[in-house]
Chain A
């Protein structure tokens, strides 16, 4: 679908170049952001929580995830994260696609050597090479993968249940410097403008190509396109800065906050803060 929409030939003869792949990646990112915005405005438990409370609570649970030294507690936190997702109308299929598979592959590759290298009780030997998988190695690997999966799930819940502007406002009201919040906000804001520009460049280029290009020519065009996009970014940045100055900006960003905290939000925060406190307090 995306291939047809953005002019990439579906006949199989044309080979997708690096620029095409890059732009398709950006377009997919835009579609992902749209989808996240739709989820964030849907009714659900986390969607109804004051964004400041939600950010604090979920960050507290992430801290608990990294602090615990018990696999059982880690598993309980993972189950809690999935339960929060379910009552916020985010299904496990979506979590698996957007977090679990990717994190498992990434962290799995990192921890794979540990299951052989950590000394301990051997539980099985690999045929042919005879390497021993140790219980302690498996345990270490389970901690790394479990922590990464749980923390990523909790972080994704912030993004999927909170409109991005509210995440920014929540960060600002929690004491993150306004300049950092403004940079985050503008990055998100202008990435869409640049995606649009990149897409137009790609379409304009494709509309004028009548024969396959060799590798050298494709690389040259890719470099030119990247250079043009960079120049556009600088020009846009300069104009945006002028537009900010024109409306009184002098280096300090000021924001309006209009969040309202309800009693259930405080209860949620209290529970979320109690978890890392208990873990840190009780474990030896």
Chain B
């Protein structure tokens, strides 16, 4: 039987007075590829941050690898280090994640904080930069990189420690089409069998490539959970949760030749 990576039971969370999660219950098993779908403000990012122990339930229970996800538990260094070795989060805004002076320092940051020996860190930096095609950027400051390069460095800086769980927050946000295609291609093949990958997105076009299961959130609640194709074919659900909208357009002919069809929110932009 596959082990459980995350178990959430009736979890709520609020930012001051604003509810972000409301009665969320779900189980994510090790090795699963899950997409968290939802419009802006649906609670995806908060759920992802909770899975990374950056915020904790106000009520309900959450566990990661059968250990409680609570603020008290994470005061303990050993618990914290054990968890950080196993779970990595790629933030939506790479400028948030890339805070070191150079790309090389960025890649080394995680392993050094986790107590790796320096020779091992140097080897890992070389290996991961070659794997992600960023070896030529190693001495560059992150703020001089393009959006696509920043995303690749952010991903590499998390995957360098080979975490069991990879959490991705809107990985394709603000990428040009070529960078987006590269990143999706990577996500579709690279994380490797056995790694749990949870991706928060409202870019429906990539979901089928990067996930097998989809969880739909709306106003902080789980409103659907099932195989990706079943969720993507439930147009009513997608429309209700503002993930698609009806769009009418013509193909250059007279108005009578126009037709309507569904668009995802990414296509809108």
Question: What residues of chain A have their CB less than 8 Å away from a CB belonging to chain B?
Answer: 37, 163-165, 168, 185-186, 188-190, 192-193, 236, 239-240, 242-250, 254-256, 258
Listed A/B pairs (23) with beta-carbon separation below 8 Å: A164-B101, A164-B141, A165-B101, A168-B101, A185-B100, A186-B99, A189-B99, A189-B141, A189-B143, A190-B99, A240-B99, A242-B96, A243-B91, A243-B99, A245-B54, A246-B54, A246-B84, A247-B84, A247-B157, A248-B84, A255-B108, A256-B121, A256-B122
Q: B80 CB to closest chain A CB, in angstroms? A: 7
User: Which residues of B have CB within 8 Å of A249?
Assistant: 109, 113
Contact of A248 with B99 in the complex, beta carbons under 8 Å: no
A188 to B97, CA, bound (A): 15
B242 an interface residue at 8 Å Cβ cutoff? Answer: no
- Nearest residue, chain A, Cβ from B121: A256
Cα of A186 to Cα of B100 in the assembled complex, Å:
7
Q: In the bound complex, how far is the Cα of B89 from the Cα of A94, in angstroms? A: 45
* B38 interface contact, C-beta 8 A: no
Q: Which residues from A are CB-within-8-Å of B246?
A: none
Contact residues of B with A, CB < 8 Å?
Answer: 49, 52, 54, 77, 80-81, 84-85, 88-89, 91, 93, 95-97, 99-102, 104-105, 108-110, 112-114, 118, 121-122, 125, 139, 141-143, 157-158, 161
Q: Are A256 and B89 closer than 8 Å at their CB atoms?
A: no
Asked whether A243 lies within 8 Å of B97 as measured between CB atoms, the reply is yes
CB closest chain-B residue, reference A191: B143
**In chain B, what residue has the closest Cβ to A195?**
B143
A206 to chain B, nearest CB (A): 23
A256 surroundings in chain B (CB, below 8 A): 104-105, 108, 112, 118, 121-122, 125
Question: Count the A-B residue pairs with Cβ separation under 8 angstroms: how many?
Answer: 83
B113→A248 contact, CB < 8 A = yes
B86 to chain A, nearest CB (A): 11
Q: How far is the CB of B119 from chain A (nearest CB, A)?
A: 10
Closest beta carbon of chain B to A181's beta carbon, Å: 9
- Residues of chain B within 8 A of A186, CB atoms compared: 99
In the complex, what residues of A have CB within 8 A of residue B89's CB? 243, 246
B93: chain A residues at CB < 8 Å are 239
Q: Are A246 and B96 within 8 A (Cβ)?
A: no
Collect the chain A residues with CB atoms within 8 Å of residue B101's CB. Answer: 164-165, 168, 185, 188-189
Contacts of B112 in A (CB 8 A): 254-256
Residues in chain B near residue A240, CB distance under 8 A: 96, 99
Query: Beyond A165-B102, A192-B143, A193-B143, is A247–B77 a contact (Cβ under 8 Å)?
Result: no
Complexed CA–CA distance, A165 and B143 (Å): 13
Check if B142 sits within 8 Å of A189, measured CB to CB.
Answer: yes
Q: How far is the CA of A68 from the CA of B77 in the complex (A)?
A: 51
- Bound-state CA distance A150–B96 (Å) is 39
CA distance A258 to B126 in the complex (A): 13
Give every chain A residue within 8 A of B142 (Cβ-Cβ): 189
Least Cβ distance of A161 to chain B in Å? 16
Known: A189-B99, A247-B88. 20 other contacts (CB 8 A): A164-B101, A165-B101, A165-B102, A165-B105, A185-B100, A190-B99, A236-B95, A239-B93, A244-B99, A244-B109, A245-B54, A246-B84, A247-B84, A247-B157, A248-B81, A248-B84, A250-B113, A254-B112, A256-B105, A258-B122
Inter-chain CA distance A185–B102, complex, in Å, is 10
Most A CB contacts (10 A, CB to CB) among B77, B95, B121, B125 go to B95
- Nearest first, the 3 closest Cβ-Cβ pairs linking A and B are A248-B113, A165-B101, A254-B112
CB-CB < 8 A to B113: which residues of A?
A: 247-250, 254
| Smallest CB gap from A34: residue in B | B144
A255 to B100: give the CA distance in the assembly, Å. 10
Chain A residues, Cβ within 8 Å of B81: 248
B89 to chain A: closest residue by CB: A246
The answer to whether A243 and B118 have CB atoms under 8 Å apart is no
The distance from the CB of B6 to the nearest CB of chain A, in whole angstroms, is 15
Smallest Cβ-Cβ distance to B110: which chain A residue: A247
